[in-house]
Amino acid sequence: MNKLILLIILPGFFIACGPAARVVRVPDEYRSWKKTVDKILDYPIAGHGQSFRIIYINSIGEKVTPLEKDGRMTYDYPDGTIIVKEVYPSQEDLDKNVPGMLTCMVKDSQSPQAINGWLWIVKTPGDPAENVFTSKFCLECHLDANESHSLGAGNINEEFRDYVFFPYTSSAK
């Protein structure tokens, strides 16, 4: 009887001690999400160079509501927000609809890898690997999103945009 119990319990023990399941933070169906800006971004950006970019946001991120705080408009994206930026190295890649990489922001303030509440991820389309940046490389540029800057509309009112250069508005497609 004891051997029977061991035969039942031991396989479950070894399965539990096996490799952890891979966490998918950036789902393949992100292209069904809304865009944060209704045009293709086609000008140079520090860290991305001369490339073309299309930015998507999941339904959790769509729920962001700008609020006034200490005389400044603020965007505080809820945990679970995912922003995916498709980066196309050339017009030819854009025409073929084949991004060279995805740069992603995942709001997960509880993650030990989060920097200022966000996971900063680079992913190659078609590859399941998600590379999380644990340095402040991405954050250093994205700090500028919260101040007046020269990109897009420029944030001339210096809203706190939670490190997002193009905050979601319901007017985006």
Count, residues in the chain: 173
pTM of the model: 0.78
Pairwise CA distance, residues 114 & 134, whole Å? 8
pLDDT the model gives residue 5: 37
Domains defined for the chain, CATH in brackets: 34-173 (3.50.70)
Residue 18: predicted pLDDT: 40
- The pLDDT-based confidence of 161 (bands split at 50, 70, 90) is low
**CA-to-CA dists, residue 70 to 32, 60, 73, 76, 143, angstroms:** 36, 25, 8, 14, 19
Q: For the chain, what is the radius of gyration of the CA atoms?
A: 20
The pLDDT of 126-154, averaged and rounded, is 75
Mean pLDDT of 4-14: 37
Percent of the chain with pLDDT over 70: 66
**CA dist., res. 142 & res. 150, Å (int):** 13
Residue 96 CB-half CA count within 13 A: 10
Concatenate the DSSP letters of all residues of 98-139 into one string. --SEEEEEEE-TT-TT-BTTEEEEEE-TT----EEE-SSHHH
Which of the given ranges, 38-42, 92-96, 168-172, has the highest pLDDT on average?
A: 92-96
